[in-house]
Structure 1
Amino acid sequence: MNQDRDRSLLSIPASTQDHMQGVLNADVVLVVYGDYQCSVSADVYKMIKAIKRELSAAFGEDYLCLIFRHFPQAQIHPQAQRPAQAAEAAAAQGQFWLMHDTLFAHQQKLENGYLVEYANNLGLDISQFLKELSKKVHIDRINEDIESGCKSGITAAPALFINNIRYTGRWKITELTAAIVAASH
């Protein structure tokens, strides 16, 4: 296989270690690499949520499995790393997706005070949350996601893989939906 082809494949397969909505044996497994401070990542995530709702209604809940991996781009988004840590600290308390949605919904407010406010609003144990953030307990997990993205040829977020193949189409709901449906056949 040539190197260009290798770079269009997901190098680290989706697993139960990932943050997922759905089941791994779904018809389509969509792996998203994103950055909480990146407006395009937020737009793509909103589009994927709408697509997932539509396809679940049409084909059933187990049709699409959504997986999120962190790919903070600290060089252009200096506040992206801390929210990724906050999402992982929330995950440790079973609230990854709620924190994830909150972070994308409030991209302009990612400073520490806001992160604590979001954690409080989600009912998290604040002392545990703060301890994990201050000790950077989840940094290895985030770095593993970044490394897996780099191994798959990613240089920027957002990046999507549909059934392990990199999506290179435009960020349009009709094109992405068509690509997802085509991957299931």
Structure 2
Amino acid sequence: MSLKPAVSKTDHIQGKKDASIVIVEYGDYQCPYCGAAYPVLKEMMKKYGKQIKFVFRNFPLSEMHQYARPAAIVAEATALQGKFWEMHDAIYENQRILSEPFLLELVEKLELDPHQFNVDIKKSELAAKVDSDFESGILSGVNGTPSFFVNGRKFNAGAEDLLQLMSEIVK
């Protein structure tokens, strides 16, 4: 399966913007497998972040994970204040205690403008962005999380395998 749509400026991007290797993760903030993949992906970015572009797209499995969608919307709201990756990391690093009150604690810890956050969190475009990410995952053949794409092609293995692949192809 191939990635639809291609990575664009609406995506959350880390690493080298014009890299020849582009990795897209479809993730769910409450998924234990995504939580297990998180430190592996952090290691990958530490080692290869100057040579690869990493993209995160929301794929909340709301029927199984009640806080996945609220977490995704909070992360999108923090993105409007330039702190998406800080929130993304904080959620995964504290995944076991994820709750709506805890998400608001993270907003305070990241020193976001609370008034602006309260305005932003109500914006319908945040839910629309989460839904758009989810729909793009469905179109791309995502059927679970985490799901990875390397240069637009579905990577049918886990984060450890992805790290191994990067060690072989990134020089």
- Counterpart residue identity of residue 161, structure 1: F
State the match for 1:88 in structure 2.
76
The correspondence for 1:76, drawn from 64, 84, 107, is 64
Please state if 1:67 is matched with 2:55.
Answer: yes
CA pair 37-172 structure 1, distance change in 2 beyond 3 A: closer
Q: Separation in 2 of the partners of 1:182 and 1:110? A: 35
The gaps in structure 1 that reach 5 residues or longer are: 1-7
Shift of 1:112: 2.1
Asked if the contact 1:34–1:72 (Cα under 8 Å) also holds between the matched residues in 2, the reply is: yes
Equivalent residue runs for 1:87-166 within 5 Å: 87-166=75-154
1:31-58, Cα deviation, whole Å (9 max, x unpaired):
00000000111211221110121224xx
Provide the TM-score with structure 1 as the length reference: 0.85
- Counterpart residue identity of residue 72, structure 2: A
Provide the TM-score with structure 2 as the length reference: 0.91
- Counterpart residue identity of residue 144, structure 1: S
1:110-142, Cα deviation, whole Å (9 max, x unpaired):
322211110111110112212333455510000
Report SS of the residue matched to 1:138: helix
Q: Separation in 1 of the partners of 2:128 and 2:107? A: 21
Report SS of the residue matched to 1:124: coil
- Counterpart residue identity of residue 70, structure 1: N
Asked if the contact 2:11–2:57 (Cα under 8 Å) also holds between the matched residues in 1, the reply is: yes
Report SS of the residue matched to 2:55: strand
State the match for 1:5 in structure 2.
none
Seq. identity, %? 32
1:54-79, Cα deviation, whole Å (9 max, x unpaired):
224xxxx1x11110000000011111
Moved more, 74-83 or 121-130: 121-130
| Bigger Rg over Cα | 1
State how many pairs are aligned: 171
Shift of 1:181: 5.0
* Root mean square deviation of aligned Cα: 1.8
Q: Separation in 1 of the partners of 2:167 and 2:151? A: 11
- Counterpart residue identity of residue 165, structure 2: A
State the match for 2:164 in structure 1.
178
- Counterpart residue identity of residue 40, structure 2: M
The correspondence for 2:45, drawn from 43, 48, 52, is 52
Q: Separation in 2 of the partners of 1:153 and 1:162? A: 14
State the match for 1:40 in structure 2.
33
Shift of 1:172: 5.5
